[in-house]
Structure 1
């Protein structure tokens, strides 16, 4: 038997060494002599087998996380809640899809799901707080009649004429529903509506009024409902909103439900405030239209969170809506506002209506 080439030391350490008499094999040396134990030499390809490559970055998960982060931020901004409510569901759906992609990281999708849920909860809290504040301010600002109390006056002398009786207050009239329109935004998939309401009462307002708009399909199935709350002042105005849960259904008609005449509050026209809408300016950037304007207050007190509903018309037909808020309109002062239309013709005619 030919022994392997000895190592540089004077003695062999116990172990496996190449067997020069049997190429491709190794023979075991026990520290004293070569044994009869022989084994195939390990293949170099088997040594240091490369580890499996790391999981690839989940691009869809990253997109979901970005949508959820931006949506959560906008959900905390009173004037931009709508943007947050659009992006958060998108982030949630993309996050779910990202979790089921094989061979890609999962943490972005999971983080997007959690953030979308938290952002939605925060957005609901912000919306409820704004609505409660608006209703509270409306109730505080409502003009109420006070009945004076005092001593009973002495009977007038015979030569005195009796005081003239106060004129009777006319009863309130019902709200009048005018033009209505609805449609679906092709980009977001959400439905929208615009309804024209007229308060024919000069000296009555509707405080804390709720306007419910219901969407039905061709089979008279109720698809979704949207509600808005505030003060309905005297005169004619448009109210707009969105249907978020219509899914794949098609809107065939809408129904509008509002307060009845017995819910009206007497408020003399001379004492009730009003708004004046300034000149509207439009512009375009890429494929969306930018609308800006001003609103002037005739109220004796500052008005917070004044809502501006915007309607776009094309050839006389309503083709889109949007809404925004001003942080504050000073008493007797003016505040600016602006809004972006994403899915209307750039040559549309624009109308805007302020609300409390």
Structure 2
């Protein structure tokens, strides 16, 4: 109870009629020491009722020194994904396994989850999240280096199907599949080789097949005994006035010596081809393949017969038949056999190509048949094979 006003206070004076007046009380001084809340009566941090001014908001960080009860699963999952991504990177680099291609995806998922775990107030395991973030970032940097080294500066895969140039070093310079039996297609240590020379186009010919289709053939001579070319032969067809009316590209692996390659133009309208021009590969595109370690194709039994059922008695259609064999360390797939028909004066008057799905590398002959839209009389047939 608050103390009553002391005696003598004007407030204790009697009323005029002599009746006693109610006692008045002082307003308590709450700042006085006797009104301080004892220490034992202070509420504990966890005793405040939800919604009261002293209650901690839901999801807030725990009281210092207390136990973090927030879920840690997200941070742990992020750390596991980051570790798995780094592990798959090592698998990719060390073993070349295709599973390593999943590494960037795992690292990206780990990066996103680690950020959520670190930035969300409702998530615990900040240490796991920080570890996942660092691991995923470092793994991502490593994956970029791996991708660049695998694809190369021009974005071309450096796997078994790549054909390095002659100047890139001997270790990786063999075109897959052209090695002779019992060899690896690689030069012996310390072997010296001449500078490669550019192939030359020695002969071209063309003619009209049917409709808008024109055929052409190009004979390319590779003068190098120790170099081969995976070549793109770009051809241009010109009208009589010199304008370009058609273009085409033929692809062939040029072994040493002469190789005949057939292609076609599509010329719409009434335009007629007057000349064609074919570009041979540059010398810098040569690939080292020593002569004593390079395989070869052989065509035997070449013969041609006109089709007696043809509608034209002057130049009926016909076929050229024979066999093709190869001497290589590996079987050769999708082999093209080019057959040219030469007139008595030596000019190429027709050309055709037969395709063989597979030629065994052990020399087993495989039959082929090349069809001619026109088969001139009194011609001499020649054939060569290439990939």
Bucket of the pairwise TM-score, normalised by the shorter protein = 0.5 to 0.7
Q: Give the direction of change, closer, same or farther, for the CA distance of 1:135–1:197 in structure 2 (3 Å limit).
A: farther
**Who is 1:216 aligned against?**
238
**Within the alignment, does 1:302 sit opposite 2:324 as a pair?**
no
Structure 2, unmatched stretches of 5+, are 1-159, 164-173, 179-183, 311-316
**Who is 2:220 aligned against?**
197
Asked if structure 2 preserves the Cα contact closer than 8 Å seen for 1:241 and 1:322, the reply is no
Deviations 1:286-306 (A, max 9, x none): 222121001110111100110
**Who is 1:318 aligned against?**
348
Q: CA deviation at 1:329?
A: 0.6
Q: Give the direction of change, closer, same or farther, for the CA distance of 1:135–1:190 in structure 2 (3 Å limit).
A: farther
State how far apart, in whole Å, the 2-side matches of 1:337 and 1:144 are: 28
Asked if structure 2 preserves the Cα contact closer than 8 Å seen for 1:289 and 1:340, the reply is yes
Task: Pick one of 234, 257, 267 that aligns with 2:289.
Answer: 267
Task: Pick one of 229, 233, 252 that aligns with 2:255.
Answer: 233
Moved over 4 A (4+): 134-139, 142-148
Deviations 1:70-107 (A, max 9, x none): xxxxxxxxxxxxxxxxxxxxxxxxxxxxxxxxxxxxxx
Normalised to the residue count of structure 2, the TM-score between the two structures is: 0.49
Name the SS for the 2:176 alignment partner.
helix
Deviations 1:211-248 (A, max 9, x none): 11110112211111111113110001211211123431
Q: Give the direction of change, closer, same or farther, for the CA distance of 1:246–1:347 in structure 2 (3 Å limit).
A: farther
Asked if structure 1 preserves the Cα contact closer than 8 Å seen for 2:177 and 2:328, the reply is no
**Within the alignment, does 1:172 sit opposite 2:172 as a pair?**
no
Asked if structure 2 preserves the Cα contact closer than 8 Å seen for 1:311 and 1:322, the reply is yes
State how far apart, in whole Å, the 1-side matches of 2:191 and 2:293 are: 18
Q: CA deviation at 1:324?
A: 1.5
Q: Give the direction of change, closer, same or farther, for the CA distance of 1:145–1:298 in structure 2 (3 Å limit).
A: closer
Name the SS for the 2:217 alignment partner.
strand
Q: Give the direction of change, closer, same or farther, for the CA distance of 1:147–1:283 in structure 2 (3 Å limit).
A: closer
**Who is 1:329 aligned against?**
359
Name the SS for the 1:300 alignment partner.
coil
Q: CA deviation at 1:284?
A: 2.6
Structure 1, unmatched stretches of 5+, are 1-133, 149-165
State how far apart, in whole Å, the 1-side matches of 2:268 and 2:203 are: 22
Which structure: larger Rg? 2
State how far apart, in whole Å, the 1-side matches of 2:360 and 2:245 are: 40
Q: CA deviation at 1:181?
A: 1.4
**Within the alignment, does 1:141 sit opposite 2:177 as a pair?**
yes
Task: Pick one of 191, 206, 210 that aligns with 1:182.
Answer: 206
**RMSD of aligned residue pairs (Cα, Å):** 2.4
Deviations 1:292-340 (A, max 9, x none): 0011101111001100111112222211111120111111221110022
**Who is 1:355 aligned against?**
386
Asked if structure 2 preserves the Cα contact closer than 8 Å seen for 1:313 and 1:320, the reply is yes
Q: CA deviation at 1:147?
A: 9.8
Q: Give the direction of change, closer, same or farther, for the CA distance of 1:281–1:140 in structure 2 (3 Å limit).
A: same
Q: Give the direction of change, closer, same or farther, for the CA distance of 1:252–1:140 in structure 2 (3 Å limit).
A: same
More strand by share: 1
State how far apart, in whole Å, the 2-side matches of 1:245 and 1:189 are: 5
Asked if structure 2 preserves the Cα contact closer than 8 Å seen for 1:289 and 1:346, the reply is no
